Homo-oligomer: A and B are copies of this chain.
């Protein structure tokens, strides 16, 4: 289940992608246009920032903008940054599997396959794809 952290992060990134060329956009504007608590978004931003997804400007004319072109962001990378991990089970988080049953686990291959399927799907969608389907629809 994807929490509001990931969903809000994605909506914010889409909003910023739509406003490319407007320079830095204040968080207040994003929060209002997306109808999300600004204070809560504040907590999500560091998660995106430390992955280098955003550019920041401080001061009265400050705000955020995308660090790359919309084509270069995948939904998967955004969600993984915000959620910390998209692993379907905890033993697939991190680089090593610490589960004591790991060697004889009958279900592990299922979770590994699920993770592959999910990652392939989410990494196959870019921010640009989302903008494209928006203009097609409306």
Residues of A within 8 A of B (CB): 1-2, 7, 10-11, 14, 35, 75, 87-90, 101, 106-107, 109-111, 113-114, 117-118, 121-122, 125, 130, 133-134
* Contact of A106 (CB < 8 Å), options: B11, B101, B122: B11
Chain B residues contacting A107 (CB-CB under 8 Å) are 7, 10-11, 14, 130
Chain B residues contacting A121 (CB-CB under 8 Å) are 113-114, 117
How many copies the complex holds: the figure is 2
Closest B residue to A93 by beta carbon equals: B1
Report the separation of the CA atoms of residues A77 and B125 in the bound assembly, to the nearest whole angstrom: 28
Report the separation of the CA atoms of residues A29 and B90 in the bound assembly, to the nearest whole angstrom: 26
Knowing A1-B87, A87-B1 are in contact, say whether A130-B106 is a contact too (CB < 8 A). yes
Closest B residue to A11 by beta carbon equals: B107
5 closest Cβ contacts across the A-B interface?
Answer: A117-B121, A2-B88, A14-B106, A2-B89, A10-B107
Knowing A7-B89, A89-B7 are in contact, say whether A2-B106 is a contact too (CB < 8 A). no
Report the separation of the CA atoms of residues A118 and B11 in the bound assembly, to the nearest whole angstrom: 22
10 additional A-B pairs beyond A10-B110, A110-B130, A117-B117, beta carbons within 8 Å, are A1-B1, A1-B90, A2-B88, A2-B89, A7-B107, A11-B106, A75-B110, A106-B130, A107-B130, A114-B121
Report the separation of the CA atoms of residues A104 and B11 in the bound assembly, to the nearest whole angstrom: 12
